[in-house]
Structure 1
Amino acid sequence: AAAHYSYAKAAHLLGIGEDNMKEIPIDDRGRMKPEELERQIQVDLAAGLQPFFVGATAGTTVWGSFDELVGLRAVCDKYGLWLHVDGAWGGAALLGSPATRDRLLRGVEKVDSFCWNPHKMV
């Protein structure tokens, strides 16, 4: 829902198709809801689909929201899904104080992949 458009672009370029992407509801702070992610996974599995990838965001383009990675990791582990974090905007928080890293990026060390553009917070 608050994810960057590049996820849809990648799905198109890879031949997966945007119609196979699912938007997961967000909370009032623009963060993906882990319980809604799990609900959608269950719906997809019941329909015979095979989810394989979850694209989280660390610093959404419009709101600056950081998805809650610990909860998303738990859901991904339960269903064997790859968890990627788009930290293009907010990934530079890795360079912040330990308190800032813990508040914004708790659990980042357990994701499967992470990208960031350090210059975007300069």
Structure 2
Amino acid sequence: MRNHEDYRERIKLFRENLGNLRLMEYLVARSVKTLFNAFWSIPRVNPYDLNKPDILHNIYLGMLKHMMEWIQAFFKKHDRLEEFDKTGALIAPYTGVIGPNKAYCATTQWQGKEMRNLE
């Protein structure tokens, strides 16, 4: 278990006395960076126990959705949306790749599996 209070004190001492490399060696041996972490100052909070967002909600449902909305608007502006939908239906089956069952614009609800396949 990391002792953040000890690390903060050693970082403070190191900054006050830059000639003492033993303090820095102690921190480096424990893979501690001398950057300030805002979570260290919150009482009874261990930053490593905090909830971390998962890849599904960050990438598949967020960025990919945004990117596909932009691409769809781009094709619509240039009158190529039908060709985009037809091209998606022509994707041949391949190991690990599942082609779409219907056109991109015809899909009304996207689940995690469809988003992964679209990616």
TM range (shorter): under 0.3
Tell me the TM-score normalized by structure 1. 0.22
Higher strand share: 1
Tell me the TM-score normalized by structure 2. 0.22
Tell which has more relative contact order, 1 or 2 (C-alpha 8 A, sep 6+).
1
